[in-house]
Amino acid sequence: MAQGKRCVWCEEVMNSVSWEMFSFFEEEWNVCNECKSKLAPISGEICLKCGRPLSKVKREYILEKTCLDCQRWVEKSFLNGLVHNRSLFEYNDFMKHVLTLYKYRGDAEVGRAFNSMFSKTITKSYKCIDFVIPIPLSIERLYDRGFNQCDLWLEKVPNRLSNCLVRIHHEEKQSKKTRQERINRSVKMFRVSNDDLIKGKTLLILDDLYTTGTTAYQAADALGKSGAKAVYSLTLCRS
């Protein structure tokens, strides 16, 4: 039997370990170079609002370094705004695979590989933040899965605020929704359990994936209407 530390994602033995590719990662990162090379960290010019690489957006859809989706969100004045979203990685096939292992097979160690990356990013880039709020799952989903993947990423973040935001709109499978329900974005997804905790505070919400922005904008809206001063969003991936 081979000796040595095993990669928490592919379970291969890690022979040589080098860290030149990602300065984010440190010695405790139990992921092999092969797996690491399949990730796509977001770099280069991004949409100032949602953090999507501008190289993926058609040129005619960019206005003042903001993509078309974000220009549309700005027009939805019934929602309290989000300052901006930033994401660490592109949502490529390998990341989908890693998140499946983590979320649906319930392998917490697979997800913990991102913990130090999140805490370092928050310490370094979000100095103005009072609290970090993991996007909650609905009670039903939490019961099925046994843990909230975003909450686990913040295990070592001292200013995590876990039970303040509550999901009231149960996320159903897309197939169960009618087209009308899918496009109706005014359905409230969240409520705040204790307004006093967040009044006048600057907040960072944390989620696994930013796709259309609905979750982030809905969360920011609920927090803003409960008195938060400003809401930022950070996600592991941007699809």
Nearer to Zn ion, 45 or 181 (CB): 45
Q: Considering the complex, what minimum distance in angstroms separates the CB of residue 4 from Zn ion?
A: 12
Name the percent of the chain in helix, strand, coil, to the closest 5: 35, 20, 50
CA 30 – CA 6 distance, rounded (Å): 7
Q: Considering the complex, what minimum distance in angstroms separates the CB of residue 54 from Zn ion?
A: 9
Nearer to Zn ion, 50 or 161 (CB): 50
CA 126 – CA 207 distance, rounded (Å): 15
Q: Considering the complex, what minimum distance in angstroms separates the CB of residue 36 from Zn ion?
A: 8
Q: Considering the complex, what minimum distance in angstroms separates the CB of residue 193 from Zn ion?
A: 30
Nearer to Zn ion, 68 or 166 (CB): 68
CA 176 – CA 73 distance, rounded (Å): 25
Nearer to Zn ion, 49 or 167 (CB): 49
β-bridge partners, 53: 46
Nearer to Zn ion, 48 or 168 (CB): 48
Tokens of 131: 């609290």
Q: Considering the complex, what minimum distance in angstroms separates the CB of residue 82 from Zn ion?
A: 11
Q: Considering the complex, what minimum distance in angstroms separates the CB of residue 170 from Zn ion?
A: 27
Residues 6 or more apart whose Cβ sits within 8 Å of residue 159:
129, 130, 131, 132
Residues 40, 92 contacting (CB under 8 angstroms)? yes
Residues 198, 132 contacting (CB under 8 angstroms)? no
Nearer to Zn ion, 3 or 178 (CB): 3
In one-letter notation, the amino acid at residue 81 is: G
Rule CB under 5 A: which residues touch Zn ion?
Answer: 7, 9-10, 32, 35, 47, 49-50, 67, 70
The beta strands (E) that lie in 84-224 are given as: 85-90, 131-134, 165-167, 190-192, 202-210
